[in-house]
Chains A and B, each alone.
Chain A
Amino acid sequence: MAQKGWKEISLAGLVADPGNSVAYETGTWRAFRPVIDFDKCTHCMFCWIYCPDGTIMVEDSKVLGVDLKHCKGCGICATECPRKAIIMVEEAKAQRG
């Protein structure tokens, strides 16, 4: 995202366009990536409820995966998953595949 000068930005950092946090890609903070084992997952939605960034992608009551642009890698989902279906993998390793 191109950074703006002080004349172009809102006064005092007020956020006047609600929901614009989507434009802020917190995924760049991630050191560990959640990887879901769909053989274990029962789609109980615990991870979806607990994720502080709303990055668990869901469709038709099924977990599809993680929005990696915004998942900051906090690991809350892995801790809360009752099926231990989520493991946190080192980001560098995950990227190497």
Chain B
Amino acid sequence: MQETQYVKGKFVALEGDRVVAEVMRQINPDVVAAYPITPQTEVVQTFSEFVADGRVDTEFIAVESEHAAMSACIGASAAGARALTATCGAGLALMWEMLWCASGLRCPIAMAVVNRSLSAPLNILTDQTDMMGARDTGWIQIYAENHQEVYDNAIQAVRIAEHPDVVLPVMHGLAGFVLGHTLGRVEMLPDEVVKEFVGSYKPRYSLLDIEHPTTFGAYDHWDYFFEHKRQQWEGMNCALKVIAEVGEEYGKLTGRHYGLVEPYMLEDAEVAIVIIGSAAGAVRVAADQMRAQGVKAGMLKIRCFRPFPPSAVAGALKDKKAIAVMDRSSCFGAEGNPVFIEVCSSLFQRGIRAKVVDYTYGLGGRDTVPGEFCQVYRDLLQVVQTGVAEPVFRYLGLRDF
């Protein structure tokens, strides 16, 4: 049998923000409109150097705010351009109104979000409050665990967004500071391989196509607005398939396969932690440590939060005796935080009556270490032993809870 040949890349040590900027350079998009904000600043700063040094042909628009950044990207996308940007935390919040316009106008913009908390109290460190807050804006959301995934997701985001069955904007999250500002090992593909993988953008409609004049953003009354929202649902539904296909194609090229979720030691696990993002690394270590002690511990990492993959999640968790869902954002007053709600709904709709608890963790940049995840596994063993999943809402790493 012939051995599979993967494209050979170059191994580099880069900060997560620089990884994003390097991918943007490799893609060489038509337009980048962005505003710097900690901890995303290095993305914009590095990319603007590429522009100044003539290493890309991109029209770089130094805008006056994130609202303007997203507006400019929407305008560029409507004009038929491939538009990329990056932001985080308060910057994403300031884009709010325009996030809905980007998805509603079906502008396939790709945006890195260097996940940061939202003030007050003033905090610039990592959690997922920013992107979780934007979960209903009609954007596809994928998250990275490590530097390599930051790189790989940034490339795949463009393909996912522009797929003719999807045509929706994509935000790809990476933990601020933890990934954004730390050095990590990344295998970078040759520029031409990235260019070929993303291909050229062929917009279906373009404002600049004067042969076919098109109006974007016309008023939509009660008689058709609802139907256009239904179209967005279709794009999201199709995205579930497309994200997996693009991840598979990328895997054939690089040897790094991507799907909607990623199990770790989960097959025979009795107790499972469900998590999104960079802290999955610490959960892997905790699972290994618990396994060494004879506990059947496993993890389900969710890569794609929008669209949420309910069948993949429920299928992976259906026979687990107790499940802890980790939420790095706080949905005050809700019957559970965002990830917990989705996981529970996925299980319930498939008739799976599992014991599930919700842990809020890591808010405002608080580190969560493997030992704490070991404690979560021990808590789950307790749930299994007593048969009682109470309290359902828990805090990890909080004093005096």
Q: Which residues of A are in contact with B by a Cβ distance under 8 Å?
A: 3-6, 9, 11-16, 18
Is there contact, CB below 8 Å, between A12 and B215? no
Is there contact, CB below 8 Å, between B214 and A14? yes
Expressed in whole angstroms, the minimum distance between the Cβ of A59 and any Cβ of chain B is: 28
Question: CB-CB < 8 A to A6: which residues of B?
Answer: 227-228, 230-231, 234
How far is it, in angstroms, between the C-alpha of A6 and the C-alpha of B105 when the chains are bound? 15
Q: Which residues of B are in contact with A by a Cβ distance under 8 Å?
A: 104-106, 167, 204-205, 212-216, 218, 220, 223-225, 227-228, 230-231, 234
Is there contact, CB below 8 Å, between B213 and A18? yes
Question: CB-CB < 8 A to B223: which residues of A?
Answer: 3
Expressed in whole angstroms, the minimum distance between the Cβ of B39 and any Cβ of chain A is: 33
How far is it, in angstroms, between the C-alpha of A5 and the C-alpha of B230 when the chains are bound? 10
How far is it, in angstroms, between the C-alpha of A4 and the C-alpha of B223 when the chains are bound? 9
How far is it, in angstroms, between the C-alpha of A32 and the C-alpha of B289 when the chains are bound? 78
Is there contact, CB below 8 Å, between A12 and B227? no
Expressed in whole angstroms, the minimum distance between the Cβ of A21 and any Cβ of chain B is: 9
Closest-by-CB residue of A relative to B212 is A16
Q: Which of A4, A11, A15, A18 has the most CB of B within 10 A?
A: A11
Is there contact, CB below 8 Å, between A18 and B215? yes
Question: CB-CB < 8 A to B227: which residues of A?
Answer: 4-6, 9
Is there contact, CB below 8 Å, between B106 and A12? yes
Closest-by-CB residue of A relative to B230 is A6
How far is it, in angstroms, between the C-alpha of A48 and the C-alpha of B225 when the chains are bound? 32
How far is it, in angstroms, between the C-alpha of A4 and the C-alpha of B212 when the chains are bound? 23
Expressed in whole angstroms, the minimum distance between the Cβ of A37 and any Cβ of chain B is: 34
Question: CB-CB < 8 A to B230: which residues of A?
Answer: 6
Q: Which of B106, B223, B228 has the most CB of A within 10 A?
A: B228
Expressed in whole angstroms, the minimum distance between the Cβ of B314 and any Cβ of chain A is: 28
Is there contact, CB below 8 Å, between A14 and B215? yes
Is there contact, CB below 8 Å, between A11 and B214? no
How far is it, in angstroms, between the C-alpha of A14 and the C-alpha of B78 when the chains are bound? 10
Question: CB-CB < 8 A to A3: which residues of B?
Answer: 223-224
Is there contact, CB below 8 Å, between A15 and B228? no
Question: CB-CB < 8 A to A16: which residues of B?
Answer: 205, 212, 214
Question: CB-CB < 8 A to B205: which residues of A?
Answer: 11, 14, 16
How far is it, in angstroms, between the C-alpha of A5 and the C-alpha of B227 when the chains are bound? 7
Closest-by-CB residue of B relative to A24 is B221
Expressed in whole angstroms, the minimum distance between the Cβ of A81 and any Cβ of chain B is: 28
Is there contact, CB below 8 Å, between B231 and A12? yes
Q: Given A5-B227, A6-B231, answer yes or no on A11-B106 (Cβ-Cβ < 8 Å).
A: yes
How far is it, in angstroms, between the C-alpha of A54 and the C-alpha of B247 when the chains are bound? 53
How far is it, in angstroms, between the C-alpha of A18 and the C-alpha of B106 when the chains are bound? 20
Is there contact, CB below 8 Å, between A13 and B167? no
Is there contact, CB below 8 Å, between A11 and B204? yes
Is there contact, CB below 8 Å, between B231 and A11? yes
